[in-house]
A and B are shown apart, each in its own frame.
Chain A
Amino acid sequence: MYMVEKALREDESMLELKGVTIDFGGLRALDGVDLNICQGEIFGIIGPNGSGKSTLFNIATGFLVPRSGQVAYRGRSITGWKPHRIAALGIGRVFQSNSLFPNFSVKENLIRSGFMRLTTGFLGSFFNTRRFRSENRELEEKAVELSRFVGLEERVDTLAKNLPYGEQRRLEIAIALGPDPDLLFLDEPVTGMNPTETASVMELIRSIQKGGRTIVIVEHNMRVIMGICSRIAVISFGTKIAEGNPEEIAHNDKVISVYLGTRKIDAAY
């Protein structure tokens, strides 16, 4: 079975942000943000557009360096680390857009996602050693398994750029799972999907979490957030204005005022 049970301590802090601050030119994008994400939970981050959510992701995954503050993964400081080193620690990510290799087939995309598992270098390829061949076979098998997990098994040889939007997003999630991350960042995974697709992605996310992974998700779709997250943080204009479980957030005055009528949205659903 692909989803190995994670032997991690319950309630271990997976990701901790302390006082993270960053400026873009004259604009303070994030101001002293604190976050603590625990093992095994699905943590949601919401907030109006431009409030700094994607910036947070970029800092946590190493694409941006904060002006001050620290980022720690499982107690280890990763502030200022380059993205590929952070990825090697077990952090995965799905971008808001452009998160796959468009000119490769689904299978080739997923094969590449297992890159970090390869150990044979060029010499192995040059002499076509047994280890080289077996590693490549493993990579292919895992790629097919991943495609099965997200329901893309039929489309394994289609070019990624030719997939319909919903399947592309699912492929992106599969790619992010390739390196077997313990912590997964999802940036607006259901944006632009119809209710059926949204529901299936929600199921997917839940089954990812059941495998023992921790998930941080940024979304605008309140139903999704309220539905699958165990805890939520609300960011507005670069500061965290609220944090708690869905119930607390839905009735938090500050949050409501920021969204100008969260109640109405809840009622509609």
Chain B
Amino acid sequence: MRYKYVIFVLLLALAVVAPVVVDNEYFTHVLVLTYIFAIFALSYDLVIGGMGQISLGQQAFLGVGAYVSAILSSKLGVPVWLCLFAAVFAAGAVGLFIGCVSLRIRGAYLAIVTLGFAMILWMIAMGWRAVTNGQMGIREIPPLVIGLPFLPRIEFDSPGKYYYLALVFLLFTIYFISRLMKSRLGMAITALRENEDRSAILGIGAFVHFLSAFTISAALAGFAGFAYVHYIAFVDPKILSQYYMITGLIMVIVGGTTTIGGPIVGALIFFFLPEWLRIAQEARLILFGAMLLIFNTLMPQGIYPASLALRRFVLERGWRRQQ
């Protein structure tokens, strides 16, 4: 069991020195995107893996977080860290609303309704030009800044600097989700996922707990949106499109559901594999489609949990041989 902590510290050390060792700004940039979307993937997995539900609208919360922060900080000059709260709160509120409407009946119904809401938000982003600049999007979004009184002012406006911030965000998310799953709510949704009737007898009501988890996952996705928008310094309606939904799904399914490492591995694969294989845009999507299909059919729990199982299997085998 100590294994876990040792490996984690090793990986963390690796992550900390990576941008220094690999002195390539593009590499750091891709890694930053990986971390930010790992947060998004973790929020998506909360719904798909943790709750066992199908949401095709997680990109809505990503977009809400992104747009709210962009509008507040660039058009209204609100200090960026305040925008963080606004973005997370707004995304959570939207999640609460969508959840109230759609979580009573689930299955295909929930899938379609979440998709519908995401569509409507996309159309609002395209159409409400006064606020969102429509298709042109919002540019010149101020970067994140830490201006503490007696310390030098740090502006996170380059991949190198943003890298450590993104890493901190990701670590926070990891801690958050692991504590969530150990809490009362985590226990409730995993129980509901396994056997809803049994859970009811144990006093676990489906709707309330699902709604809470759904809202939290929305807030988390909004957080990812906030991080994304202040890094890229640009947002357009594309962030609410199905492209990001598919991105999230691929990261979750290929990487691994119901684990914390899974979506992170998925994010790494999603961003680094095409770079490694050097494929054009359309072919990239076909590749991901094929991967999604293959993994969903053959390895539905994803790469990371499968490798955990493999490792456990190998260890047990080795132990027996020693005896």
Contacts and interface: CB of A to CB of B under 8 A. Distances in A.
**Are A and B subunits of one complex?**
yes
Interface of A: 61-63, 82-85, 87-88, 92-93, 95, 98-104, 111-113, 115-116, 118, 120-122, 124-126, 128, 132, 136, 175-176, 178-179
23 contacts: A62-B200, A63-B197, A82-B205, A84-B200, A93-B201, A98-B195, A100-B195, A101-B191, A102-B195, A104-B190, A111-B187, A112-B191, A113-B202, A115-B184, A115-B202, A118-B184, A118-B187, A122-B184, A125-B186, A126-B179, A126-B180, A126-B183, A136-B182
Given A100-B198, A125-B183, 7 more contacts: A83-B201, A101-B191, A103-B194, A115-B187, A115-B191, A115-B204, A125-B182
B152 interface: no
Contact of A175 (B176, B188, B190, B198): B198
Nearest to B198: A99
A121 B198 contact: no
A120 B201 CA distance: 20
A62 B190 CA distance: 22
Given A101-B194, A104-B194, A112-B191, A178 B180 contact: no
Contacts of B199: 84, 112
Contacts of B186: 125
Contacts of A63: 197, 200
Given A125-B180, A125-B183, A175 B202 contact: yes
A162 to B, nearest CB: 15
Contacts of A98: 195, 197-198
A257 B185 CA distance: 52
Contact of B198 (A101, A122, A126): A101
A62 B205 CA distance: 12
> B interface, by DSSP: helix, strand, loop or mixed?
helix
B203 interface: yes
A95 B204 CA distance: 16
Contacts, number: 90
Given A101-B195, A103-B194, A115-B191, A88 B176 contact: no
Contact of B203 (A88, A111, A121, A126): A88
**B187, B197, B198: most-surrounded residue (chain A CB, <10 A):** B198
A87 B202 contact: yes
B180 A116 contact: no
Interface in B202-255: 202-206
B201 A176 contact: yes
Contacts of B176: 126
A103 B190 CA distance: 10
B185 A178 contact: no
Nearest to A116: B203
B264 to A, nearest CB: 20
A111 B186 CA distance: 13
B306 to A, nearest CB: 16
B195 A121 contact: no
B194 A121 contact: no
A111 B199 CA distance: 12
A226 to B, nearest CB: 28
A217 to B, nearest CB: 16
Contacts of B191: 101, 112, 115
B203 A115 contact: yes
B5 to A, nearest CB: 16
**B182, B201, B202: most-surrounded residue (chain A CB, <10 A):** B201
Contacts of B188: 115
A121 B185 contact: yes
Contacts of B182: 125, 136
